[in-house]
Structures are given as C-alpha cells and as structure tokens.
Structure 1
Amino acid sequence: MKNLVILGAGTAGTMMANHMVSKLPKKEWKISIIDQYKTHYYQPGFLFLPFDSYTEDQVKKVGKKFIPKDVVYHQQKIEKIDAENNLVVLENEVLAYDLLIIATGSKIAPQEVDGMHSKEWHKSIFDFYTYEGALALRNKLRTFKEGKLVVHITEMPIKCPVAPLEFAFLADDYFQKKGIRDKVDITYVTPLSGAFTKEFTSKTLGYLLEDKNIKIVTDFAIEKVDFENNKIIDYADTEVDYDLLVTVPTNMGDEVIEKSGLGDDLNFVPTHPNTLQSLAYENIFVIGDATNVPASKAGSVAHFQAETLTDNILLYLENKPLKEEFDGHANCFIETGKNKALLIDFNYEQEPVTGTFPIAGIGPLKLLKESVFNHWGKLAFRWIYWNVLLKGIPIPFVSRNMKTAGKNINN
C-alpha cells in the first residue's frame, strides 16, 4: 500500500483530498490529510465580519465534514517534514509517504514589524485576516465615532491582494450609512507605487479611492508602529497618524516549512510555477498559499491549481512528463461599496482588462466595471465555496487557464 499525505485541510488541501480520492486506486493507495485545527474558515468572509455583513456562523464550519470518508483525517500538529526520508513527524506519530502535497497555507506575522504586535494589538491596531482579528475589529467599529482610520499593507505577497482595498471601500460605505463619514478620515497606505499590483487596474482603483475621498500614501516601506503616539513610520521617516490602524501584517508560510528547511525567507516553498512540483524534491507537490509562485494567494487560484496539480500527480506516477500548464490564473471580485463590485480576471502574463466573463461577448459579468451583478457574484461565492469549490467540482464555464476571448486585451 502506497501513501499520499496531504499537509493542511484548508481550501487547497481539502480540494486536493476530494480530487485525489476519486483518482487513485483505493486498493493501492492510502490517502491521509493532517491539520491541527477542527474549524474550517471561509476566509473571504473575514472581510465582511467587521461590518456586520456576515455572521460568525457563515464563515466557519467543522472541517472534517468536507473531507471524503475514504481519506484518513489526522487532527494533529505537524512538527516537521523529513523530506530526505519521506516522513512527516506529527505530535503523536510519524507518517511515511510516497507522495506529499504541501497545502499548509500562510498566516499573518505582526511580530515582524517593530511595535505592531504590541499591547495595542486588537485595541487600536487590528487585522482582519484572522477570525479573531475580524471579530475584534467588528466590536471596535461598532463604537468608533470619529477619527483617522488608516488601512495599511506591510509588504507583498499577501492573501487576496485586493482585500485591503475592499476594506477601505466598505469602510467608506459603512460610515456613510452610520451618518459619520464626514467625521472619519480614511487613508490607504501601501508599499506599492499605486493602488494595486497591476498598472491598468491600479488606475481604475486609484480613481475609486479619489472618488470616495480616500487618501492614498504609496511606496510606504514600514519600519515601525509607534503605538504610544499612534503613528506608523517608514524607513524614509514618513509618518502617518492614526486613531484606528487596520493593517495587513507580513504574510508568511507555516513555521513547519522553516523547521523542515523547505522554504524561502518567508517560509514559502520554492515551487515550479507551471507544474506545481517542488523544486527540491520530485515527490513533493505544493499548492495554494504555501507556494512561492508569483500568483495571487486566493481561493480561486488554489481551485485552478488543483485541477492542474491533479493531472500532474497522475502523470508523475506514470513516469510521464508533467504539464507545464498552470498560468497563474486568478479571478477576484472587488467590493466597492453601495452593493457594487468589480471583477478582475488575469494570470502571470496578462493583467486585468475590461471585457465580459465567463462567456465571451455575453458575460453576464463585466470585467473592471462596477455593477450590482458583480456584487451578487461576490456574495454567491460563499455558497459556491462550501458546496462546489471545496468538493473539487469544476465551476461551469470557468476554465483552469485564463481565456482571452471576450477581453479587451489591447486596452
């Protein structure tokens, strides 16, 4: 009996368990998945928790219910990967593997910036990339009446690169509904030279910031948080004052990757960008936020990766060349407030442009155009996540690789 071991039962790991259980012969392969946490979170929902748009029950479920019954589930902490000997050391046992899928994700590391993880953490300094942070921020916003709100990104890469912008747009809408927008100054602070990583999209989103009277500070490489004087300070000594700081800390891979000697400086696993095979060990494959590939760290990306990765694992087992197929495909809804949203679709080479999606010339969704329909699409994604995406079911009309049909590529 051969062993496939999947590390992590988040979005990517759960999808791969559902893909592989139907592909590998049950008499020949045992599939195991390991995760130390009982709860599975719908992480895109963390954006909505602070604004009381989602309830706690809408963003969390028992993770085991999404794991196929023929997959052995270990709820344990992963201590170390011994890649030289094909072993995974858990807190209570050691598992041997013939094939390993690393899906350990990423997490925030506020301790990486001096003064960020201070006594003011979740008091005047908040994140919304964790369940606990989003809830604490919700409680803070309920009582926030006036002052300077700063939405800040520490450095790239981060999970869902558009989420900080969405937070700024939703905060604008939230304070307008409360009738206090004129009393709240919103500033968006980014290490990038514009509102987003892609130039064409950055212009569109930059206009929205201006239209909503949200100030933007670019090229801000944070050195420290002066939590005693409510300032963030960058290495050029630029200072931004805040009363409420909503920050996206450094995102890093799981510490087990560092302990195992498998990661880069941020604990992301060096991975072939098109095959998703580890660059160091041919029987290790990596997916989702755990990789160092230059694609967005988002659920849609993991979904597209999973389809290519499944094919490549089967090719690997047959000693056939792997498909250099994954193209960095990502699509993201961007909430802009007032029940509207934008949609972007892009890959490694092609930045977001205008057009129609998913059916060329028909849509029904419009790319890079605000619409109520896109907002509905964003809200519908929660149902799709729990009922389609996690189960490894293809999304109709949405291909794993980005299609150029219906897009205004020459914009």
Structure 2
Amino acid sequence: MKNLVILGAGTAGTMMSNHLVSKLPKNEWQITVVDQYKTHYYQPGFLFLPFDIYTTKQVKKKGAKFIPKGVNYINEKIELIQPDDNKVLLENGTELAYDILIIATGTKIAPEEVEGMKGPEWHKSVFDFYTYEGSKALRDKFREWEGGKLVVHITEMPIKCPVAPLEFAFLADSYFKNKGMRDKVDITFVTPLGGAFTKPKATKALHHLLTDKGIKEVTDFNIERVDYENNKIIDYAETEVPYDILVTVPTNMGDALIERSGMGDDLNFVPTNKATLQTEDHENIFALGDATNLPASKAGSVAHFEAEILTENILRYINGEPLKEEFDGHANCFIETGGGKALLIDFNYTHEPVEGTFPFPGVGPLNLLKESRTNHMGKMAFRWIYWNMLIKGIHIPFVSATMSEKGKHFEETEA
C-alpha cells in the first residue's frame, strides 16, 4: 500500500482529499490528512463578523465533517517534514511515511514581527480580523464604540485575500452610516503600496470609491512600530498616523513547520513551480494554496483552481507522465464596497483585472470591475457554495480553473 499524505485540513487540503479519494485506487493508495485543529473556519466570513453581518456559528464547523470516508484523518500537530527520508514526524512522536506529500499548511498572521503590535493593547485597541478571535473581539468593540479615528492598515505584502483590508474599510463606512454615527468616525486606509489596490489597473479604475466614501488614504507607509501608549503607528520615515482603533493586517507567514523543516523562503512559503504546483526541491512533494510562494493571490478561489489542476498532475506523476504546466495564477474575487454592492475582479499571472462579463461572455450575469447589487448577492452566496461545493471538491459549473478570455477586454502585463 502506498501513502499520500496531505498536511493541512484548511480549504486547500480538504479540497485535495475530496478530489483524490475518488481518483486513487483504494486497494493501492492510503490518503492521510493531518491537521492540529478540529474546527474548520470559513475565513472569508471573518470580514463580516465585526459588522454583525455573519454570526460566529456561520463561520465555523467541525473539520471532520468535510473529510471524505476512506481518508485517514489525524488531529495532531506536525513537528517536522523529513523530505530526504520521505517521512513526516508528528508532535506525539508518530512517524508517517509517504510516497507523495501535499503541503497545504496555509499562512498565519505574525503580529510579533512588528514592535508593539502584539503588546498589551492587542485585541483591545489594536485588532486583526484575519483570525476568528480577532474578528470576534473587534465585533464586540464596535458594538460599544462611540467613534473616533479608525485606521485600517496593511503591514506588508503578500497577504491572504489582498482585497480584504479595502473591503473592511468600505464595510466600516457602511456600518457606521447605518448606525447613524459616520460623522463621528474618521476612517484612514494605510498601505505600504503606492495605491489602494494591489493591481495598478484596479487602483486607477476604483480609487474613486475611497474618495466618494470619505476614506483618507496614506500610501507607501512601511511600518516600523506601533506606539500603543500614544495610539499611533510610525513608519521608517517617521511618518505618524494616529488612531483610536487600529485594525491591522500583520505580516503573513507560512507555517513555522516549514521553517523547522528547512523548506521555505524568508517568510516560510514553499518554493513551488508556478505552473505545475510541484515543489522546486522535491519531485514527490507538491504544494498549493496559501503555503506556496507563487506570485498568485492568496485566496480561496486560487486554491480551488489549483486543486483541480494539481489533482490531474498527481495522477500524471503516479503514472510517470509529464506534468501539465497549466496553472496560470487564475483568481476571481468579489470586493464588497458597502451599501449592498460589490465588485468582481478576474485576473491571472499575465493579466491584471479585466473588464467584461462573468461567467458567460456578453451575458454575465456578473460584470467585472463594476459595482452592482448582483455582485453583492454573488459574494453572499459564496458562503453556501463554500460549505456545500468548494471544499467538497465539487466543480463549480461554468467556472474554469484557467482564466477564460471570452467576453473580456485584455491588456498584457508582465508575468
């Protein structure tokens, strides 16, 4: 019996277990999934929790529910990957031998990387919304907050779901309007980039949203420290931005397991072939989702597209066939803009977000790079799609893993 081991039971790892369980001969392959956590979180829902749009029960379920029958599911912390010996060592001392390893260990926030960020004011006046705990604490703070300076801040790139901080600022504008206290809240968006959006074309097309909503913008801000005693963030050029509530996206890093195993880059992301999803250093180890160093968006849609392509490449690897160089960095993301509207962007390695229609050329019903209530409804529907289709490895109809060019207006960019 041969062994395929998947490290991580988040979005990417759970999808891969569902894809592969029906593809690999049960009398020849044993699939094992290892994850220390028993709860599976709908992480896009963390954006909505602070604004009481979602409840805590809507963003979490038992992880075992989504691991298919026939897959060995182990709830233990992973201590080490030993790639030269084809083994994984668990914290409890168990050794797992593998013939194929899939790394899907995701990314985590590291607020300790910035001086003063994870100090005594953490989850009191300094918050994240990239964790369940941070998002819930921020919800409780907003419920009783009477106003002041709200700063939404990005520490550095890459981050999980690059548009989420902007969405947070837009939803905050809408939230405080609905509470009748927008005039008491000063919102500032602070980014290390030269513009609000990670893609220049999107920044040019959509910058007006910040202006229209009265959201101030501070760009090229490379944070050096959080002065929690005086409620301000300070960058290396000594620029200061004062706050009453700081909502920050800390440095995102790959799992510490990757560093312990000597397999990652400076941020613990796994060097991975951007087209095949095979790791650069070990031919029987593959990686996908947020764990990789790919120049693609760290988002659930990307993991979904990667999983469909990686499944075929795993089968090709087993059969001794050349791997398909097929993954093109495809991502599509809804961007909540508040007031019951949203944008939809579609892009890949070589194309910035494009205009056009999705998923049907000329028909839609979703329009790209344009605000609409239909896009907002798509964003809200995604939670059902996530729990019932996406992590179960069910193909989403009419949505291809690679980016379709039909019905879209393209401009070439550098890969």
Residue 217 (1) aligns with residue 223 (2): no
User: Residues 226-259 of structure 1, C-alpha deviation per residue, up to 9 Å, x if partnerless?
Assistant: 1100110111111100000000000000000000
Distance in structure 2 (CA, Å) of the matches to 1:81 and 1:408:
44
Partner in structure 2 of residue 40 of structure 1:
40
Q: Which amino acid aligns with 2:8?
A: G
| SS of 2:221 mapped into structure 1 | coil
Distance in structure 2 (CA, Å) of the matches to 1:408 and 1:182:
39
Shift, 1:204, TM fit: 2.7
Partner in structure 2 of residue 75 of structure 1:
75
**CA 1:367–1:41: 2 relative to 1, 3 Å:** same
Partner in structure 2 of residue 165 of structure 1:
166
Give aligned-pair identity as a percent.
Answer: 73
Partner in structure 2 of residue 257 of structure 1:
258
Taking the TM superposition and a 5 Å limit, the aligned residue runs for 1:5-404 are 5-92=5-92, 93-404=94-405
CA contact (8 A) 2:258 2:268 kept: yes
| SS of 2:57 mapped into structure 1 | helix
| SS of 1:302 mapped into structure 2 | helix
Distance in structure 1 (CA, Å) of the matches to 2:394 and 2:292:
22
User: Residues 234-288 of structure 1, C-alpha deviation per residue, up to 9 Å, x if partnerless?
Assistant: 1111110000000000000000000000000000000000100000100000010
Shift, 1:113, TM fit: 0.3
| SS of 2:385 mapped into structure 1 | helix
| SS of 1:85 mapped into structure 2 | coil
Segment drifting more, 131-140 vs 309-318: 309-318
Q: Which amino acid aligns with 1:22?
A: S
Distance in structure 1 (CA, Å) of the matches to 2:348 and 2:15:
21
CA contact (8 A) 1:195 1:203 kept: no
**CA 1:410–1:349: 2 relative to 1, 3 Å:** closer
CA contact (8 A) 2:89 2:95 kept: yes
Shift, 1:410, TM fit: 4.8
User: Residues 346-404 of structure 1, C-alpha deviation per residue, up to 9 Å, x if partnerless?
Assistant: 00010002110001000000001100000000000000000000111111110000011
Distance in structure 1 (CA, Å) of the matches to 2:269 and 2:206:
29
CA contact (8 A) 2:352 2:411 kept: no
* TM-score normalised per structure 1: 0.99
| SS of 2:276 mapped into structure 1 | coil
Name structure 1 gaps, 5 residues minimum.
Answer: none
Shift, 1:319, TM fit: 1.3
* TM-score normalised per structure 2: 0.98
Shift, 1:146, TM fit: 1.4
Q: Which amino acid aligns with 1:143?
A: E
| SS of 2:403 mapped into structure 1 | coil
Q: Which amino acid aligns with 1:382?
A: R
Runs of 4 or more off by more than 4 Å in structure 1?
A: none
CA contact (8 A) 1:86 1:97 kept: yes
User: Residues 274-321 of structure 1, C-alpha deviation per residue, up to 9 Å, x if partnerless?
Assistant: 100000100000010000000000000000000110011111111111
User: Residues 106-138 of structure 1, C-alpha deviation per residue, up to 9 Å, x if partnerless?
Assistant: 000000000000000000000000000000000
CA contact (8 A) 1:18 1:391 kept: yes
Q: Which amino acid aligns with 2:372?
A: S
Distance in structure 1 (CA, Å) of the matches to 2:76 and 2:42:
21
Name structure 2 gaps, 5 residues minimum.
Answer: none
Shift, 1:206, TM fit: 1.4
Distance in structure 1 (CA, Å) of the matches to 2:24 and 2:234:
53
Shift, 1:171, TM fit: 0.1
CA contact (8 A) 1:6 1:103 kept: yes
CA contact (8 A) 2:109 2:130 kept: yes
Q: Which amino acid aligns with 1:86?
A: N
Q: Which amino acid aligns with 1:201?
A: A
CA contact (8 A) 1:102 1:285 kept: yes
Distance in structure 1 (CA, Å) of the matches to 2:90 and 2:24:
24
Distance in structure 2 (CA, Å) of the matches to 1:106 and 1:284:
18
| SS of 1:379 mapped into structure 2 | helix
Q: CA RMSD in A?
A: 0.8
Q: Which amino acid aligns with 2:245?
A: L
Distance in structure 1 (CA, Å) of the matches to 2:259 and 2:203:
34
Shift, 1:205, TM fit: 2.8
| SS of 1:376 mapped into structure 2 | helix
| SS of 2:408 mapped into structure 1 | coil
Distance in structure 1 (CA, Å) of the matches to 2:193 and 2:404:
28
CA contact (8 A) 2:351 2:411 kept: no
